[in-house]
Amino acid sequence: MDATRRTDGEEATVGEPERRGGERSEAPRSGGSPTVEGKPGPDPEVEARPKRRRFTPKYKLEILRKADACTRPGQVGELLRREGLYSSHLVHWRRQRDAGLAPKKRGPKAEIVNPKVKRLEQENRRLERKLKKAEAIIAFQKKVHELLGIPLKPFVSEEDEGDD
């Protein structure tokens, strides 16, 4: 039998450290200062969002030229590993090259305004200003007629004249 008798009546197996009456049998927990002196760990500061790589059109064309020059099997893969790229980059860049390799504009799309619509909107604003002036003049004339006691002729609109 590998067990040995302890004085307090508990058995302990060989190879196990001796425990006293109230000690736990768990492994010691970390959280204190490290007992082993060594080089510090990685920097705990993590960037909020990784930076997105951007490739210039000149670089894209250079990589495409090198990839098209590859003749032996595995050369394209070697080029991609050396440059840190994926095969999907080549596919996407070839499509861009066929379309002219123009950089994509970011942000909201610019509104295309028809010149006729623009001219009509300007005319509408001009007529609204003219209408406000006319309404102000009419309101002033009504007050003057009321103050002077001059009776106003009843106003007949164009809509009323067509009902005859």
Listing DSSP states for 140-159 in one string gives HHHHHHHHHTPPPPPP--HH
Residue 77 is predicted with a pLDDT of 93
Residue 29 is predicted with a pLDDT of 61
Residue 51 is predicted with a pLDDT of 82
User: Residue 23: which of 8, 37, 38 has the closest Cα?
Assistant: 8
Residue 111 is predicted with a pLDDT of 81
CA distances from 91 to 86, 101, 126 (A): 9, 13, 54
Residue 3 is predicted with a pLDDT of 47
Beta bridge partners of 12: 4
The 10 Å CB-count burial string (b at 16+, else e) for 29-55 is eeeeeeeeeeeeeeeeeeeeeeeeeee
Residue 107 is predicted with a pLDDT of 84
d(CA 4, CA 142): 119
Residue 83 is predicted with a pLDDT of 93
pLDDT digits (tens), the chain, 164 positions: 444 444 555 555 555 556 666 666 665 565 555 555 566 777 777 777 878 888 988 999 999 999 999 999 999 999 999 999 999 999 999 998 888 876 667 788 888 888 899 999 999 999 999 999 999 999 998 888 888 888 877 777 777 665 55
Residue 116 is predicted with a pLDDT of 92
pTM metric for this prediction: 0.37
